[in-house]
Amino acid sequence: MDREAKEEYLVVIQAKDMGGHSGGLSGTTTLTVTLTDVNDNPPKFAQSLYHFSVPEDVVLGTAIGRVKANDQDIGENAQSSYDIIDGDGTALFEITSDAQAQDGIIRLRKPLDFETKRSYTLKVEAANVHTDPRFSSRGPFKDTATVKIVVEDADEPPVFSSPTYLLEVHENAALNSVIGQVTARDPDITSSPIRFSIDRHTDLERQFNVNADDGKITLATPLDRELTVWHNITIIATEIRNHSQISRVPVAIKVLDVNDNAPEFASEYEAFLCENGKPGQVIQTVSATDKDEPKNGHYFLYSLLPEMVNNPNFTIKKNEVIVVLFVTLRRHKNEPLIIKDDEDVRENIIRYDDEGGGEEDTEAFDIATLQNPDGINGFLPRKDIKPDLQFMPRQGLAPVPSGVDVDEFINVRLHEADNDPTAPPYDSIQIYGYEGRGSVAGSLSSLESTTSDSDQNFDYLSDWGPRFKRLGELYSVGESDKET
């Protein structure tokens, strides 16, 4: 039986009694026989040769065409897989199986180039996925077909000779000098002429130009390596016959160093020397820098100015290869700070001839000394020690900005002091009555005494110990003194 030829059979069955003899009774029924499928048929391509065409600029992965091998079996017995087994395009194309439609889909795997190769031939094979060894003698359960693929020409953009360009130029290069060149071509058979330009978004300062015909890059403005070492621009290539076909390429330009900067001292130096300095003593160490970039490092020569060459007091020398300078003292002569005669007894007096800048000189003194020293705790701070607490300014006193006119400042503070009964006077009187908080002894100063000498009793000094015994005897008042 062959299911592919006839799938169902109808069979009539009769039953008789009396052993089938004459005079017996009989009955009939119809039996339907359905044949199940077995994989006994190989797949067969509908045609042995397939033709497809594809443009050269098609996107990778695009389906180029479909091929199908028919199988008379059904179900899983009809499932086939497709493969490319031979041909000159095995690296550029691939074929996948569509489980629903049971056909093979040919897709592009790598880019095509009409100018390089215009056609390809593939040999594809369809084979059953599931085979039955009982029918292996009927031959291989697979089939092959030939696929011809023709590549069509497409208008392609220009192609540069290199994906990137690296150029070098000295920073003192003359204007309009050629730095380098880029080249591009039209890959199409028509070979359209190319025009070059610079993407000005990458060259906002317009430091470079490019020849539209030959791609030579020239210098438009002076370069300075100390400001910018690298310049990155983009060159555009456009087909003259089709302006929509353009390509871009990055160009990196490195500016090479030229010794065009004089050395500079690292900072402004101010040296100080004591009068008792010794010959050979190092007074100052200085160093210099250079904006240029030599390959082997900087090497400077140091010397005194021409008017200082014959100076007998100072000399300079180089410290090995390190870029430092020593200013040393050759000799010196001790001189007194002041001139005084033998009869002058003012041994500790030092004369200064500095003069102030007058009323307009607001930087020669600190007006903070005029601030109110009164604290918020109700006691006066000592002037000879650091206060224990941070005193806050009194309420109502507005802060005075720095740099204010001194006359105006004093008038404002005078007005505040006149209206503040707790403010001490702004004069040179120093208060010595402060003995610290928690002291068992009273004030020893007579400046704040409210009683007369006759009313005071110093007998308590004898209770302070041996150190104050003699002091108590001197200040004690006896009966004989009172009588006299």
Which among 120, 152, 184 is the end of a domain?
A: 152
pLDDT at 359: 54
> Where does 158-204 have alpha helices with state H?
none
Half-sphere exposure of 77 (CA within 13 A, CB side): 16
Is 280 within the bounds of a domain? yes
Per DSSP, the residues of 305-337 read -GGGTT-SSEEEEE-TTSS-EEEEE-------S
Highest-confidence segment of 138-152, 260-274, 312-326, 381-395: 138-152
Residue 75: both structure tokens together = 């179900």
Is 482 within the bounds of a domain? no
Is 83 within the bounds of a domain? yes
Does residue 84 contact residue 127 with C-beta atoms inside 8 Å?
Answer: no
Q: 268 and 242 share a domain?
A: no
Query: Considering the chain, what percentage of its residues have pLDDT values greater than 70?
Result: 72
Q: What is the mean pLDDT of residues 286-311?
A: 76
Is 354 within the bounds of a domain? no
Rounded Cα distance, 323 and 301, in Å: 9
Q: 275 and 234 share a domain?
A: no
Q: 117 and 140 share a domain?
A: yes
Burial group, residue 317, by CB count within 10 angstroms (0-12, 13-18, 19+)? exposed
**Cα three-residue angle 265-268-273, rounded to 5 degrees:** 115
Which of the four pLDDT bands, split at 50, 70 and 90, describes residue 390?
very low
Q: Which domain holds residue 50?
A: 44-152
Q: 63 and 128 share a domain?
A: yes
Among residues 390, 367, 366, 364, the alpha carbon closest in space to that of 377 is found at 390
SS3 45: strand
* Phi-psi domain of 370 (left: phi exceeds 0; alpha: psi -120 through 50; beta: other): alpha
153 Cβ contact partners less than 8 Å away, ≥ 6 residues apart: 55, 56, 114, 115, 188, 189
Rounded Cα distance, 383 and 165, in Å: 76
Among residues 186, 311, 282, 293, the alpha carbon closest in space to that of 237 is found at 186
pLDDT at 383: 45
Is 139 within the bounds of a domain? yes
Among residues 391, 359, 389, the alpha carbon closest in space to that of 372 is found at 391
Q: Which residue has the higher pLDDT, 272 or 201?
A: 201
How many C-beta atoms lie closer than 10 Å to residue 461's C-beta? 19
Among residues 164, 189, 345, 383, the alpha carbon closest in space to that of 252 is found at 164
Over the stretch 427-474, which tens digit does the pLDDT of each residue have?
Answer: 545 555 555 555 555 555 555 544 455 556 677 777 777 777 777 777
Q: In what order do the strands lie in the sheet with 44-45?
A: 44-45, 63-70, 103-108, 93-98
SS3 339: coil
Which of the four pLDDT bands, split at 50, 70 and 90, describes residue 484?
very low
Which of the four pLDDT bands, split at 50, 70 and 90, describes residue 346?
very low
Query: Considering the chain, what percentage of its residues have pLDDT values greater than 90?
Result: 32
Is 4 within the bounds of a domain? yes
**Cα three-residue angle 374-380-382, rounded to 5 degrees:** 115
pLDDT at 100: 83
Domain CATH for 219: 2.60.40.60
Q: 193 and 132 share a domain?
A: no
Pairing relation of β-strands 165-170 and 246-256? parallel
Which among 256, 287, 313 is the end of a domain?
A: 256
Q: 101 and 71 share a domain?
A: yes
SS3 474: helix
Which among 256, 283, 317 is the end of a domain?
A: 256
| Burial state string for 113-134 with b = 16 or more CB within 10 A and e = fewer than 16 | ebeeeeebebebbbbbeeeeee
Please count the residues of the chain. Answer: 484
SS3 463: helix
Over the stretch 39-97, which tens digit does the pLDDT of each residue have?
Answer: 778 888 989 999 999 998 899 999 999 999 988 888 888 888 899 999 999 999 999 98
Q: 237 and 287 share a domain?
A: no
Residue 432: both structure tokens together = 């010595």
Rounded Cα distance, 55 and 64, in Å: 10
- Residue type, position 283, single letter: I
Looking at the DSSP assignment, which residues form a beta bridge with residue 50?
A: 147
- Residue type, position 352, single letter: Y
How many C-beta atoms lie closer than 10 Å to residue 290's C-beta? 17
Is 412 within the bounds of a domain? no
Q: In angstroms, what CA-CA distances link 96 with 91, 103, 415?
A: 14, 8, 101
Does residue 39 contact residue 128 with C-beta atoms inside 8 Å?
Answer: yes
**Cα three-residue angle 389-390-396, rounded to 5 degrees:** 130
Q: 226 and 322 share a domain?
A: no
Q: 23 and 55 share a domain?
A: no
Q: 62 and 125 share a domain?
A: yes
How many C-beta atoms lie closer than 10 Å to residue 71's C-beta? 20
Q: Domains in the chain: how many in total?
A: 4
Q: 50 and 136 share a domain?
A: yes
Is 423 within the bounds of a domain? no
Rounded Cα distance, 254 and 155, in Å: 35
Q: Which helix (H) or strand (E) holds 481?
A: helix 479-483
Q: 238 and 164 share a domain?
A: yes
